[in-house]
Structure 1
């Protein structure tokens, strides 16, 4: 771990007395801050900032890229994370490049395991606690994303963040959703290929929905921060449904993370790697981004 930079402080007279009794210097000097010379105090150096939301975006997209393209607005934050992973010996220095590719994903997973985490908590996607631990004395974490506690909705398990997103999608469309499959459901449906093993994932029944209404629901879900698609029986061994994964959810399973990355890259999230076949919603926003604009 890196040690804090030493802080120098020159104090004399009344200012020194203030330090001894724990008072702010301006209070000891009649609310007049000292100006220049030996009476000026130098505060502790401010740590660099790492934008958690930006790192999460890169962690979803970059492993799905066919090249080393950097994610806009994320690379400088990813580099800070990678430097600390390299400091801890879990990432080779050559991968400290701002690209959150598979090497960084695996290194972050190794760091999570070093903290005693396993399963979803060691998925290689930064959570608030592990990212804060990594940044100890090196950086501060901003734009925090929290999935929240596990809750139920229509009989299925979700985290609070995903449930809030579903409720807002309902409000926008006027449709009462019927859940076919929720999150944190390992082995629940073999056709899901592990997508629902972690958080952020949901399948909705579409019985009684017209094609127009299905599209409206998918569009609303994308608007609030889901990677969402209508899935037809022609695409796989499943009945018609709407499948969605919450962007930037730190609890995503690996298949779900891959689907969110594909969504950002304009793909359909299926093994056939075809172009996205859903309604276009630009710009792509997370739940937190949607909340800031509404």
Structure 2
């Protein structure tokens, strides 16, 4: 008969072995790069083809396989291209979790993504817009505020917000400000050259930004900015972010980008890693 001490040692070893197996199983799960996934989710639906966004294929495939396993995505669309069918499937999945409105836009957020990946994949480079707050009289999230403050630091000047995020007060915005990451900024008193400089620095820190003029729509001169990879974005803002990556102007006519060239086009997180 085993002594009490030997029984305890054996039991401890068994528990340790079980824990190690569990840890190894978790470590063996595929990894989804959320930054790459969100970039694809913004760009791919705006493509004219089924090209795959560089660096995103493996992550997109993991999400598509998980959606297929839930009966939400046909096998033919499990291809690494986060196109409109994948967006629609993800939106259906979000609604199945009880989300609605902007929270069920088909753009993955960290909470729904973790639930989808349970026992299937883990996440790295997790994105979060942060909390919503009032900043200079406008609503923004903490990620957008940090981005704007950094752009202002580079400029050495403070900018004036004329419309923030989570706002539907201006019909001409066509819903782009309904979610997070959207800003309109005043250009009052700026020279033409300085307006371009402001747009360039906003782009440098991770905004899709353009100078808008009255000939383009029912609005005065202003700077319009959308924070790339903001997971709180409205569908309209997602489309503008994707168009920016594709070299377009973010307007309904999908014309050529008329802003200053910034290479490479970085998200806020990518900027922070290279700054």
Indicate the TM-score class for this superposition, using the shorter chain for normalisation: over 0.9
Equivalent residue for 1:242, pick from 220, 223, 240: 223
Deviation at 1:236, TM superposition (A): 1.2
Identify the residue that residue 80 of structure 2 maps to in structure 1: 98
Partner of 2:166: 184
Deviation at 1:51, TM superposition (A): 0.4
Which residue is equivalent to 2:145? 163
Question: What runs of 5+ residues in structure 2 fail to find an aligned partner?
Answer: 1-5
Paired with 1:16 and 1:265, the residues of 2 have a C-alpha distance of 61
- Taking only aligned residues, the RMSD between alpha carbons, in angstroms, comes to 1.6
Tell me how far 1:220 sits from its aligned partner.
Answer: 0.5
Q: Which of the numbers 115, 128, 135 marks the counterpart of 1:133?
A: 115
User: Which of 187, 198, 210 does residue 229 from structure 1 map onto?
Assistant: 210
2:261 pairs with one of 280, 284, 289: 280
Q: 1:202 aligns with which of 168, 180, 183?
A: 183
Once the two structures are TM-superposed, the CA of residue 170 in structure 1 deviates from its matched residue by 0.6
Match of 2:235 among 251, 254, 262: 254
Matched, 1:56 2:15: no
Q: 2-side partners of 1:66 and 1:157: how far apart?
A: 34
Cα deviation 1:50-88 (Å, max 9, x = unaligned): 001100000000000000010000011101000000101
Which one has the largest radius of gyration?
A: 1
Give the secondary-structure state (helix, strand or coil) at the position aligned to 1:44.
helix
> Corresponding residue for 1:144?
126
- Equivalent of residue 216 in structure 1, options 197, 202, 207: 197
Q: Which runs of 4+ in 1 moved over 6 A?
A: 12-15
1:72 to 44, 51, 54: 54
1:44 paired residue number: 24
CA separation of 1:93/1:213 partners in 2, compared to 1, >3 Å: closer, same or farther?
Answer: same
Q: CA deviation at 1:14?
A: 9.1
Change in CA separation of 1:70 and 1:209 when aligned onto 2, cut-off 3 Å: same
Deviations 1:101-133 (A, max 9, x none): 000001000000101111111110010000000
2:94 corresponds, among 112, 118, 125, to: 112
Return the structure number with greater helix share. Answer: 2
**Structure 2 match to 1:124:** 106
Q: Normalising by structure 1, what TM-score?
A: 0.87
Q: Take 2:87 and 2:11, find their aligned partners in 1: how far apart are those partners?
A: 51
Query: 1:13 Cα shift?
Result: 9.0
TM-score by length of 2: 0.93
- Corresponding residue pairs, total: 265
